[in-house]
């Protein structure tokens, strides 16, 4: 085996090991979250149920829908619980390519990445959801009633929460790319409008 292939296979093995650790962390988070899946789902639908008329409610049209919804809620919650470990494993995978002085940022990176992701998701849940759902429900009339399905609502809500979580990660991404020299302050000014546009698209 050539010297070029050995480092490559070593990187693949390291990546596999990091992914296994992340999967185990998510699995543990999933098991813990599934115990509270019903309560978690109740919190997830709260912004919508608050703005629905008294005669409207969430429905499910296929028998397994609620069971699958609880599974998905537990999985997403498990991923969120595992976020610090996931970011830590990501950083440790990248660490060998960094200088020693750059490795000291590991704890701030893991801490602030986790905080920003959760903050973004909370912003979506606490700020965007109430006003957004109220706006959408306002289109109901006497002849047209809002009866959102559990499956559709869950997919829509989770996409929004993940999108806002990822958008709030942008400061960390920009800082990292600046540190390694891929972007400069001048290039940031040049592409600022495009970055804002992309953020809105991701949040849509």
**What is this structure's pTM?**
0.71
pLDDT at 200 over 60: no
The pLDDT of residue 1 is above 50: no
Total domains, the chain: 1
Residue 48 has pLDDT above 80, yes or no: yes
**Angle 13-14-20 from CA coordinates, rounded to 5°:** 90
Count other C-beta atoms under 10 Å from residue 69's C-beta: 23
The CA-based dihedral angle spanning residues 4, 5, 10, 11, taken in that order and rounded to the nearest 10 degrees? 80
- DSSP class of residue 61 equals S
Q: Are 153 and 45 in contact (CB under 8 A)?
A: yes
For residues 36 and 27, give the distance between their C-alpha atoms in angstroms, rounded to a whole number.
Answer: 15
Report the C-alpha gap between 114 and 120 in whole angstroms.
10
pLDDT band at 168, cuts 50/70/90?
confident
pLDDT (0 to 100) of residue 180? 63
pLDDT > 90? residue 29: yes
In which domain, by residue range, is 107 found? 5-203
């Amino acid at each position: 085996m050539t010297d070029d292939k050995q480092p490559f296979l070593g990187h693949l093995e390291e990546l596999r090991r990091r992914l296994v650790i992340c999967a185990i962390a998510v699995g543990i988070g999933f098991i813990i979250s599934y115990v509270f899946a019903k309560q978690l789902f109740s919190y997830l639908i709260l912004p919508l149920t608050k703005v629905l008329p008294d005669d409207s409610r969430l429905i499910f049209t296929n028998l397994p829908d609620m069971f699958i919804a609880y599974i998905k809620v537990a999985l997403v919650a498990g991923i969120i619980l595992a976020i610090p470990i996931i970011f830590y494993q990501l950083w440790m995978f990248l660490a060998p390519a960094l200088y020693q002085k750059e490795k000291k940022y590991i704890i701030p990176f893991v801490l602030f990445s986790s905080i920003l992701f959760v903050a973004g998701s909370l912003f979506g849940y606490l700020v965007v959801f109430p006003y957004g759902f109220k706006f959408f429900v306002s289109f109901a009339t006497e002849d047209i009633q809002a009866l959102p399905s559990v499956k559709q609502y869950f997919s829509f809500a989770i996409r929004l929460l993940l999108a806002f979580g990822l958008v709030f990660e942008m400061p960390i991404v920009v800082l990292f790319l600046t540190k390694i020299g891929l972007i400069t302050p001048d290039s940031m000014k040049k592409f600022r409008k495009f970055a804002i546009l992309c953020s809105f698209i991701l949040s849509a």
